[in-house]
Structure formats: C-alpha cells, structure tokens
C-alpha cells in the first residue's frame, strides 16, 4: 500500500460523520481546563485522593494521533480496510482511562463468556463432549470499538458497577470519568483535528473493558434470557472481546435463524458467522473434532509471514536464545496430539532456520518439549512473591553485561544500609531497544545550519558565529547541529570562563535572556549561582564570559513536556563534556527526567 492509498482509506473513515467530527482548532487547552475542573471537584468531594488526582492530571499533554493497520487478512478489493488506532500515550486522558480500567477489569473477568487467553480456552475445550450432529461456530463482531454507543456503553458499565461489593470510588465517579474519556477522544491526522463522537478507540486503556461490558450486557439480555428462542441449542459460549466461539446443538437452518436473530437484536452490533461440523479456527488455535472430544492445533492465517526476530538482529543473546524455547512451548500447549506437535515443530524449526538461528538453540528447545505432554505444559506455576524483584531498565549495548556485573558486585553497599531494607534482592537488569536505523536516519525536518549571532542584542558581544566548539577537556572539535541565535529558545548552551572551565545549562526562553541573567548573577556575586561563585573566587571580570549555543531541542510536534526533554539533553552534555565540578562549573545534574 502506498501513502496515497493509506491516506485515502483514513480520510474515507473520517468522512463518516456518524463517528467523527472535524474540529476547526486545537482543543487541547479547552479540554485540559474542563478535565482540571472535573478532577478538582472529585478531589474536593473525596471521590479521589490527592495521589489519584496527581496521577490523572497531565501538565504537558501530548496530542493523540490517528493511524490505521490494514486488515490484509480480510477479503477486500482495492485498498484494504484499515483498523483505526489512536496513539494516546501522554495524552490528556491516558491516565484517566487507566484509572477507570482498573475498576472495569474485574467486572469483565466475572462475565460468564469471559475467556482470558489461548490457554484458558484450551482448558475449557478439554471439558467438552460432543455428539455427531453438533456444529462448531465462531462469530466476529464487526468494528466493535467504533460501534459501541456512548449512552449504551455507559449504561452497560453502570449496570455491572452496581454489582460491585465495594462503592469506593463511587459508581458515579467512575461513570463520569469514563464519559470524559469518551467525549474528549480527539486526535490529529495530518494537520486536521477530529473528535470521535461515537464509540471508543483502540489505543485507550479502558477501550477493551468498555467494549467487553457492552457485549456482556448484550449477552445477558439477548443470549442468556429465556425469551431467546435458541437458548437451548447454545453451549460453551465464550468471547474474547469481539471473537466468539460456541457449540451449536441444533440444525443448520436453526443456526442461520439464530444468526439473523443476533443481527436484529441490536442496532449497533453486526455479527459475521462461520460454522463447521469438523473444524473451526478461534484465536490462534484450530479446533477440530476428535471422536466425542475436541482437539486443538496451531492456526496460522494464510497472510501470516515469518516474522520471527532475525537471528543476527542487534538484541541480547539471552533474548534470542529464549525465543525458540517460548515458541516450542507455545505449540506444545496448543497441540493436543503428538502428531500435530511434531508437524508444527518441523514447520517452526524451518522458520527459525530461515531467520538464521543457531541449530543448537533450535534443537535444544525442541528436545526440551518433546518429552512433555500438553497437560504438563498447560500447568501454570505461581511466582513466589518473596522472590519478586525490581527491574532496572537500561538501553541495550555491548557493555550491558558489564553494567549488570558491576551492579551485582557492589549491591552489598545497598544491603548494608539499614534504611533500604526494601531492596533485599538485587534488581533484575532489563534491556530496552536502542535507536534503530529508522530512528537514526529518518528526519522530519531539513538539516539545520550552525550558530549565528542575532546581530542586534547586548549578548552578541559574548558569542561568535561558529560551526563548532571544542570539548573543554580534550579539545576535540564538536559540530553544532542547529541554527541557534541569541533569540532561539529551548537551547542547551555552554558557558566558558578565562581559566578554561565550562558550564552546561538549558533554557526554555530566548538564549539572550538566560545569558543576561548569568551576567547579572556574576555582577551581583550571587552565592546561589555556581557560575557566579566561580567568577567571584577566581576574580574574573564579567566581560570575559563567553557562551555558545550547542543544541536546540525541538518541541514534539504533538506537544509534551519540553522541560523534561531539555533536562535529559542537559544531563547528556554535562556527562559528555565532563563539566561537573571540579573539572567544570556544574555542581550536579538531574537524573529524574530519565525515570
């Protein structure tokens, strides 16, 4: 799919005024004020605590954006339909949605149709005994998230919230916050802002629970009630969000009438259906008749490709070694017969070979599960809470193993501190992905030029037009990657004194404003300014101060906390240039923005 087709499909969906409304401006400030007022009111009424209020308050929100994932596994002509997803990390409602979801999830898991995952489904299937005349049936709810109406979804959630054993926070508090998440679901596509006016969006943390409760209420009213004329034919009804499996003990004609009944019971839900007397796919398993029982094996869509992480990929070796183990374990859990397990193992081994995994990794993982039955693999082991450890998350690099060994070697220092008894075990070192080629090569803007004077301010006399600066300790030439003048804001800058020491600072304001403050501090011998303290002790004249703007930090196009970004870059340059005292004038740098 090319860019034009991709954008055409998104515009096609956004033109549907039943679900989306185009806005004439950026509504972030307006929505932020409304949410603040709502959270303040909930705090004052003791519906939420100060900690919860702080958690749900976002000072520097990121603007959500819309993208789609093409449904290439669906039948289509021309451009494949797209599954709309709103990327809402850091948005106004991200934490409100998470707060609401915390209280909705227990309600979802208590639904009669709830199935947790593949393992849960397999355990249920193992209990079924069938006769020769039953049908295996699956249904799919079309565009569920988009089609859940605000009012109907809120009413369904309210119904199940009434069944809670506790009333803290109040039902009305949760419903009101849920309504806010739904009605403040705005996003950016291209340069246009839109508001979703019906349904919820994938990307919101509460969306699966919200949609599942709506479906659960539908099931309660139209499936499990006695007025359902087809209730007697339905057994083992299970639903994973919008995917449904059940066993039908009626005739084929009655099944088709039931399908019609389903599609006429709600104006919002539309069901597609597939059925067979022999086998049927559900989630990632193929369910088939095995005598009077049901067997399972692995199911892969015709459009699935070999997407296993490449064996030469720049990832930790333990991670790559664990992938064959986890994948062979998966097919052992899914395959009920040894014959299916060996067939699927042959295919899995071929796919790992294609991705250049070491043969001993593959064969070792395969042998590990050849001697285990499906029942043995389905047993879950509970982790000992006493052995749970904190995760220390660091960016992966070839030196990662050294970091881990140093941390463990000196952990006794932490253990010797009586105030840190909560850290009895050393943390588990977890690696996160470093920037990949796309992050390094793709740029949204044209290359920028080096630093210049603005040419008409008092601070111009203390800098010069330059393309580079020198490392204050090694003298290495370092090039400036930006157009920086005295009027530039969001800048990381370096101050130099006559004796060669350097200071790294950051400012969100115009650079000349911050430099003027430094000069004023020096003249007034400010004892709170490390630069002024050094100039006073060394008897430097303020006229000898020199500065260079070394980096401009661009604000994220969708908003966010620019100060946190500046603090990270400031810490980076303090470390890189070695400007901490006594080798420089910086007294400290803040690591909190990295947490």
User: Rounded to an integer, what distance in angstroms lies between the CA atom of residue 284 and that of residue 297?
Assistant: 9
Q: Please report how the helices 94-109 and 150-161 are oriented relative to each other, as an axis angle in degrees rounded to 10.
A: 60
**Average confidence score pLDDT of the chain:** 89
Using one digit for the tens of pLDDT, what is the confidence trace for 137-168? Answer: 999 999 899 999 999 999 999 999 998 888 88
Left, alpha or beta for 362 (phi > 0: left; psi -120 to 50: alpha)? alpha
Q: What is the DSSP string of 394-447?
A: EE--TTHHHHHHHHHHTTHHHHT-GGGTT--SPPEEEEEPPP-HHHHH--SSPP
Q: Where are the alpha helices (DSSP H) in 223-337?
A: 252-265, 317-334
Residues 557-563 have a mean pLDDT of 82
Confidence check: pLDDT of 210 > 70: yes
- Listed range (236-245, 428-437, 511-520) with the worst mean pLDDT: 428-437
Confidence check: pLDDT of 456 > 60: no
User: Rounded to an integer, what distance in angstroms lies between the CA atom of residue 103 and that of residue 574?
Assistant: 44
CB 298 within 8 A of CB 335: yes
User: Rounded to an integer, what distance in angstroms lies between the CA atom of residue 270 and that of residue 276?
Assistant: 20
User: Rounded to an integer, what distance in angstroms lies between the CA atom of residue 238 and that of residue 439?
Assistant: 42
CB 279 within 8 A of CB 288: yes
Residues 350-354 have a mean pLDDT of 95
Confidence check: pLDDT of 480 > 80: yes
CB 577 within 8 A of CB 471: yes
Q: What are phi and psi of 202, to 5 degrees?
A: -65, 135
Residues 534-561 have a mean pLDDT of 89
CB 109 within 8 A of CB 116: yes
Confidence check: pLDDT of 75 > 70: no
The pLDDT of residue 424 is 73
Confidence check: pLDDT of 448 > 60: no
Confidence check: pLDDT of 261 > 90: yes
Q: What is the DSSP string of 124-151?
A: HHTT----TT-EEEEEEETTHHHHS-HH
CA angle (466, 468, 474) in 5-degree steps: 135
Model confidence, pTM: 0.75
Residues 258-263 have a mean pLDDT of 96
Q: How confident is the model at residue 321 (pLDDT cuts 50, 70, 90)?
A: very high
Half-sphere exposure for 247 (CA within 13 Å, toward CB): 20
DSSP secondary structure letter of residue 50: H
CB 178 within 8 A of CB 15: no
The pLDDT of residue 76 is 59
Using one digit for the tens of pLDDT, what is the confidence trace for 362-418? Answer: 999 999 999 888 888 888 777 665 567 788 888 888 777 788 888 888 888 888 888
The pLDDT of residue 446 is 32
Q: What are phi and psi of 43, to 5 degrees?
A: -70, -45
CB 114 within 8 A of CB 239: yes
User: Rounded to an integer, what distance in angstroms lies between the CA atom of residue 171 and that of residue 226?
Assistant: 29
Residue spans per domain, the chain: 3-118+125-236, 317-378, 390-440, 458-594
- Listed range (65-79, 91-105, 321-335, 480-494) with the worst mean pLDDT: 65-79
Paired residues of 245 in beta bridges: 138, 238
Q: Would you give the end-to-end CA distance of the chain in angstroms?
A: 38
- Listed range (57-61, 318-322, 574-578, 591-595) with the worst mean pLDDT: 591-595
- The more confident residue out of 559 and 308 is 308
Confidence check: pLDDT of 78 > 90: no
Nearest residue to 284 (alpha-carbon basis) of 303, 299, 274: 299
Q: How confident is the model at residue 450 (pLDDT cuts 50, 70, 90)?
A: very low
The pLDDT of residue 278 is 93
Residues 446-458 have a mean pLDDT of 49
The pLDDT of residue 307 is 87
Using one digit for the tens of pLDDT, what is the confidence trace for 24-40? Answer: 999 999 999 999 999 99
Using one digit for the tens of pLDDT, what is the confidence trace for 526-545? Answer: 999 999 999 999 999 998 99
Residues 350-372 have a mean pLDDT of 93
Task: Please state, for a pLDDT cut of 70, what percent of the chain lies above it.
Answer: 94
- The more confident residue out of 475 and 167 is 475
- The more confident residue out of 321 and 394 is 321
Strands 546-552 and 271-276: unpaired
| Residue 127 burial (10 A CB sphere; 0-12, 13-18, 19+) | exposed
């Amino acid at each position: 799919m090319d860019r034009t087709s991709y954008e055409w499909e998104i515009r096609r969906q956004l033109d549907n005024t039943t679900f989306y409304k185009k806005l004439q401006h950026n509504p972030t400030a307006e929505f932020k004020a409304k949410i603040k007022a709502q959270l303040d009111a909930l705090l004052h009424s003791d519906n939420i605590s100060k900690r919860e209020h702080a958690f749900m308050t976002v000072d520097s929100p990121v603007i959500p954006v819309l993208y789609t994932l093409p449904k290439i596994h669906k039948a289509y002509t021309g451009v494949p339909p797209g599954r709309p997803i709103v990327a809402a990390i850091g948005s106004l409602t991200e934490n409100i949605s998470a707060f609401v979801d915390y209280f909705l999830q227990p309600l979802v898991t208590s639904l009669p149709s709830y199935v947790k995952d593949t393992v849960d489904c397999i355990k249920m299937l193992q209990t079924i005994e069938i006769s020769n005349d039953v049908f295996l049936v699956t249904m799919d709810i079309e565009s569920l998230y988009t089609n859940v109406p605000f009012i109907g979804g809120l009413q369904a959630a309210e119904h199940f919230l009434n069944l809670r054993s506790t009333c803290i926070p109040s039902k009305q508090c949760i419903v009101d916050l849920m309504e806010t998440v739904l009605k403040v679901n705005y996003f950016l596509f291209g340069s246009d802002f839109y508001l979703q006016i019906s349904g919820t969006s994938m990307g919101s943390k509460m969306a699966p629970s919200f949609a599942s409760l709506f479906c659960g209420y539908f099931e309660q009213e139209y499936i499990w009630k006695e007025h359902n004329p087809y209730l007697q034919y339905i057994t083992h009804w299970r639903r994973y969000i919008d995917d449904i499996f059940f066993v039908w003990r009626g005739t084929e004609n009655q099944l088709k009438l039931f399908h019609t009944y389903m599609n006429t019971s709600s104006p919002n839900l539309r069901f597609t259906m597939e059925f067979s007397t022999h086998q049927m796919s559900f989630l990632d398993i193929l369910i088939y008749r095995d005598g009077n029982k049901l067997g399972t094996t692995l199911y892969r869509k015709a459009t699935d490709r070999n997407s296993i992480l490449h064996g030469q990929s720049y990832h930790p070796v333990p991670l790559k070694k664990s992938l064959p183990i986890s994948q062979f374990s998966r097919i052992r859990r899914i395959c009920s017969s040894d014959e299916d397990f060996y067939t699927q193992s042959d295919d899995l081994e071929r796919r790992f070979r294609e991705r250049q995994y070491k043969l001993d990794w593959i064969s070792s993982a395969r042998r590990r599960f050849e001697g285990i039955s499906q029942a043995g693999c389905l047993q879950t082991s509970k982790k000992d809470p006493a052995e749970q450890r904190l995760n220390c998350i660091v960016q992966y690099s070839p030196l990662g193993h050294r970091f881990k060994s140093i941390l463990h070697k000196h952990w006794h220092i932490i253990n010797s501190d009586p105030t840190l008894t909560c850290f009895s075990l050393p943390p588990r070192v977890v690696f996160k992905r470093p920037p990949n080629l796309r992050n390094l090569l793709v740029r949204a803007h044209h290359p920028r030029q080096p630093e210049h004077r603005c040419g008409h301010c008092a601070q111009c006399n203390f800098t010069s037009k330059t393309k580079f600066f020198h490392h204050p300790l090694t003298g290495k030439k370092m090039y400036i990657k930006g157009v920086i003048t005295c009027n530039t804001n969001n800048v990381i800058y370096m101050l130099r004194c006559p004796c060669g020491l350097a200071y790294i600072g950051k400012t969100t304001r115009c650079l000349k404003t911050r430099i003027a403050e430094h000069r004023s501090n020096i003249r007034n011998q400010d004892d709170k300014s490390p630069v002024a303290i050094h100039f006073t002790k060394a008897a430097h004249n303020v006229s000898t101060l020199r500065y260079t703007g070394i980096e401009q930090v661009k604000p994220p196009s969708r908003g966010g906390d620019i100060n946190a970004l500046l603090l990270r870059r400031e810490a980076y340059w303090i470390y890189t240039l070695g400007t901490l005292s006594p080798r420089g004038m910086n007294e400290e740098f803040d690591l909190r923005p990295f947490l």
